[in-house]
Structure 1
Amino acid sequence: MTSTAGSPAPTAAPTQPEPGGRIRRFTRAERLVHRTTGLLMLLCLATAVCLYIGPVAQLVGRRRLMITVHEWSGVLLPLPLLLGLLSRELRADLRRLNRFASYDRQWLRAARRRLTRPQDRPAGKFNAGQKLWAGWIAGAVLVMTATGLLMWFTRLLPFVSRTSAIFVHDCLAWAVAVVLAGHVRQALRDPEARRGMRTGHVGRRWAQRHHSRWLTDDPDGTRTVE
């Protein structure tokens, strides 16, 4: 760890390539949080389908079991991230996701103009689209959990009607399903990004092409603020 001039916080050593030209992108803890959160999210969506879509509900049956799995998978949904906060690397990545730099605005402008060359879209470890996705899904999970609890414990907030909670919960559930489908679609189009989440490492050439700021002395790629 070193400190840059004028910066009160220590700076981590620049990202180093792994043997074979690969770079570590995610730690085991980060990958575990991602997988567990994804599994709980899929359980929520799958059981919601079994509860609210008539033909599927009739085919599956066991409504009480579906309700129980849906409720508990929703309650547990924030837990992986909360436990993951014990990881210094995950906390550092959350700070990166929460920092919107000038080059992120350039990335968004390039995306709106539908530029196809990744090098025309400067990005740090996470691009602007990933940062927006992370912020949106985090807020959605909080609202879904809150409205789910209001539906489960109707006396938790007596001044909020159960009907209102159900309306918000259902509308947001559809929005989450659509956005999550887009997230999966983007992942399927990028095998190297999936490999990074599966193994923790990505190719240096891929990183240079899609996340060039991550490999420079830019704070988004090298600084760990404690």
Structure 2
Amino acid sequence: MRRRALLPRFTRAERWVHRCTSALMLLCIATAACLYLPQLAELVGRRRLVETVHEWSGLALPVPLLLGLGSRALRRDLGRLNRFGPHDRDWLRAALWRSYRRRAGKFNAGQKVYAGWIAGAVLVMLGTGLLMWFTDLAPLAWRTGATFVHDWLALAVGVVVAGHIWMAVRDPQARRGMRTGKVDPLWATREHPDWEPTADEGDQPRGSSR
């Protein structure tokens, strides 16, 4: 029996941007946990090293995306993530009422909301982190406020990222798409019925399988 041809979904550049950004984000979260939870701090020790790793991984967090902007496919997908249409509002209402009749293009409304929120959170975390790192950049009152925002937003980021990972664990095809760049066409039809793949979506021509 002939294997069903897989659909190209993400290019190699997009997958590497996602992997590098994910690694830096998880490193930030792990080091933050070691800095703020006494049990982990005692277990790991070497607080100054942990602080240094946390600071530089946070500073490097936007770098993979900035480097990846050279990819036309990545720029196109960022445009898709940035567009919110009527079908996205319908998707959110359907998700709220736990209905499975949800229209979506290449990215559904939940993925768009997550991408926008995490992008904004990273910028705020970067700004407040710089104020905490370079103490002469702002007066004490600003640094105190930055510390408060940074700490509580870090907790929110940890919870949201954990939810993102949980959703990925529940969807093997989504993980396959980010791991190999290709997905099953039946999954694409079910989860993203309005998505029309183009010839340069993946690293290989449409219709090839691996």
The two structures have a TM-score, normalised by structure 1, of: 0.84
Query: Which AA in structure 2 matches 1:208?
Result: T
In structure 1, C-alpha distance between the alignment counterparts of 2:4 and 2:84, rounded to whole Å? 32
In structure 1, C-alpha distance between the alignment counterparts of 2:168 and 2:192, rounded to whole Å? 15
Q: Could you tell me how far 1:159 is from its partner in structure 2? A: 7.3
What's 2:208 paired with? none
The residue matched to 2:57 in structure 1 has which SS? helix
Query: Which AA in structure 2 matches 1:162?
Result: R
What's 1:67 paired with? 51
Structure 2 residues not aligned, in runs of 5+: 201-210
What's 2:77 paired with? 93
In structure 2, C-alpha distance between the alignment counterparts of 1:43 and 1:84, rounded to whole Å? 20
Q: Does 1:175 align with 2:175?
A: no
What's 1:139 paired with? 120
Mean Cα deviation higher: 168-177 or 48-57: 48-57
Matched ranges for 1:37-56 at <5 A = 37-56=21-40
What's 1:149 paired with? 130
Q: How many matched pairs?
A: 198
Matched ranges for 1:1-226 at <5 A = 20-115=4-99, 117=100, 120-158=101-139, 161-215=142-196
In structure 2, C-alpha distance between the alignment counterparts of 1:214 and 1:160, rounded to whole Å? 49
In structure 2, C-alpha distance between the alignment counterparts of 1:107 and 1:130, rounded to whole Å? 11
In structure 2, C-alpha distance between the alignment counterparts of 1:51 and 1:198, rounded to whole Å? 31
Structure 1 residues not aligned, in runs of 5+: 1-18, 216-220
In structure 2, C-alpha distance between the alignment counterparts of 1:96 and 1:160, rounded to whole Å? 40
Runs of 4+ in 1 over 6 A off after TM superposition: none
Q: Could you tell me how far 1:157 is from its partner in structure 2? A: 3.0
Query: Which AA in structure 2 matches 1:140?
Result: A
Q: Could you tell me how far 1:160 is from its partner in structure 2? A: 5.2
- What RMSD over aligned residues (CA atoms) do the two structures have, in Å? 1.7
The residue matched to 2:195 in structure 1 has which SS? helix
The residue matched to 2:183 in structure 1 has which SS? strand
Query: Which AA in structure 2 matches 1:33?
Result: V
The residue matched to 1:212 in structure 2 has which SS? coil
Q: What do the CA deviations read for 1:151-172 (whole angstroms, capped 9, x no partner)?
A: 0011223375221111000000
Q: Could you tell me how far 1:52 is from its partner in structure 2? A: 0.9
Tell me: higher relative CO, structure 1 or 2? Use CA pairs within 8 A at least 6 residues apart: 2
In structure 2, C-alpha distance between the alignment counterparts of 1:178 and 1:52, rounded to whole Å? 15
